[in-house]
Amino acid sequence: MPLSAILPDLSPWRSTRDFRLLWIQGLVTYFGSFMAMVALPLQIKELTDSPVAVGAMGAVELVPLIVFGLYGGALADAVDRRKVILLTEAALGLLAVVLLVNALLPDPLLWPLYVVAAGVSALAGLQRPALDSLMARIVPHDQLTAAAALNSLRWNVGAIAGPSLAGLVVAYAGHASAYAITIVGFTVSVLMCTRLSPAPAAHDAEKPSLKGLAEGARYAWSRPVLLGTYAIDMAAMFFAFPNTIFPFLADDLDAKWSLGLMYAAGAVGSLLLSLTSGWTSRVRRHGLLVVFGAAGWGLAITAAGWFSNVWVVLVCLAFAGAGDMLSGLGRSTIWNQTIPDELRGRLAGIEVLSYSVGPQLGQVRAGAAAGWTGTRPAIWSGGLACVASVGVLAAVLPRLISYNADTDPDAKLRRERGEATRDEAERGEPELTA
């Protein structure tokens, strides 16, 4: 097999200027954001010396993410998506300024840290649907899987290098320096966002409303393939997301030094799959990617909880990350291939919930199970429950297994309308609405 067959497919990078801008902008944002993501909980720890105070960040972030994620989906269908991305990115930069000013005070205050954490979560909820729904508009239909792989590659590079660099900056230069770098990152990102092409809503788009949100929910409920992607992802994360008990796992394995590696192992596995993802561009049965990837995640988490050798555990966690990456590629492709453009923002808001609420609840489940059964049984039992739930959902929703990008009615309709829209744009005629 030639090397080019497994290396990442760079077609979206070569064919689409806006994709290149978003890819680079996202990488810059990731590095800047990870500075704050590492510095913020560490600063709370230094101010309070309380694990409860640090853990409370998750509580203040969850509700804004849910509320504004749903509203952000409706907003993305009603206004220019570029403007949403630009304004939220600028607002995130202003919140970083608040963190910097607070860090420079003789006695930094605690409450602004929670306010900023909630604000970041709300802005992320507003922005993510616009970002996700923009991808299908700027990338050709047959390059969506490749685009998802390249975006995951960008994320994994940031997830591995970002926290490592942030830890060094905080340790040797302090919180204020980390926040200053965050501000620089968002400044660069905003400048790049100004160069994106406008992405206006359809001419007959309605204002954001509960009625519009309900319309999006009804569409999702009427599509078994979409329901399958949401349900499998939430089940996998609920049963088999043990990150919150990694510190206890490291103690259990008598390897406290491995804690950082445990958190990074999943990203390493995802990165390796991203770097060898060229073959995924030729896959047409993306539902199988979702199912096999989620089941592989569960099996790898089961093994991580079962084995007692720390190096074997780390390898298992890397395999888990690769499985999650594979499932994510399938989900992203199905979403972008089948959802109408006029509903894509609202459905992206639902997608934000499907892949964010699951891990949040999964951490609660893992912690409660560990307190009842012990750390390692909580991990391997959750992995087995994940595999079982994926099997049940695949059996109950056979349309997901049979999904084929070439024959699915929704995918065919989106492809035909996408081609018509590009032909209209090349002739300089008014854009068709999807």
Within 13 Å and on the Cβ side, how many CA atoms surround 327? 28
Confidence band of 4 (pLDDT split at 50, 70, 90): low
Higher pLDDT, 21 or 8: 21
Question: What b-and-e string marks burial along 33-67, b requiring 16 or more CB atoms within 10 Å of the CB?
Answer: bbbbbbbbbbbbeeeeeeeebbeebeebbbebbbe
pLDDT at 18: 93
Residues 344 and 226 sit within 8 Å (Cβ to Cβ): no
pLDDT at 432: 34
Mean pLDDT of the region 37-51: 80
pLDDT at 136: 79
Higher pLDDT, 372 or 236: 236
Q: What share of the chain is helix, strand, coil (3-state, %, to 5)?
A: 85, 0, 15
The first and second tokens of residue 26, run together, are 């996202």
Integer CA distances (angstroms), 88 to 63, 69, 131, 343, 430, in order = 18, 13, 11, 21, 29
Q: Is the pLDDT of residue 59 over 60?
A: yes
pLDDT in tens, 278-329: 888 888 999 999 999 999 999 999 999 999 999 999 999 999 999 999 999 9
In single-letter form, the type of residue at position 318 comes to A
pLDDT in tens, 196-253: 999 887 766 677 777 878 888 888 889 999 999 999 999 999 999 888 788 788 888 9
State how far the Cα of 408 lies from the Cα of 224, in Å rounded to an integer: 12
Q: Is the pLDDT of residue 21 over 60?
A: yes
Summary count for the chain: helices (H), strands (E)? 17, 0
State how far the Cα of 299 lies from the Cα of 357, in Å rounded to an integer: 22
pLDDT at 431: 37
Confidence band of 345 (pLDDT split at 50, 70, 90): confident
pLDDT at 344: 81
Share of the chain above pLDDT 90, in %: 39
State how far the Cα of 133 lies from the Cα of 62, in Å rounded to an integer: 22
Q: Is the pLDDT of residue 347 over 80?
A: yes
Helix (H, G, I), strand (E, B) or coil at 83: helix
Q: Is the pLDDT of residue 433 over 60?
A: no
Q: Tell me the average pLDDT of the chain.
A: 85
pLDDT at 426: 45
Confidence band of 34 (pLDDT split at 50, 70, 90): confident
pLDDT in tens, 152-207: 888 878 777 777 787 778 878 888 999 999 999 999 999 999 999 998 877 666 77
pLDDT at 3: 58
Confidence band of 434 (pLDDT split at 50, 70, 90): very low
Lowest-confidence pick of 16-30, 37-51, 114-128: 37-51
Confidence band of 102 (pLDDT split at 50, 70, 90): very high
pLDDT at 164: 72
pLDDT at 429: 41
Place of tokens 């090349």: 426
Higher pLDDT, 46 or 94: 94
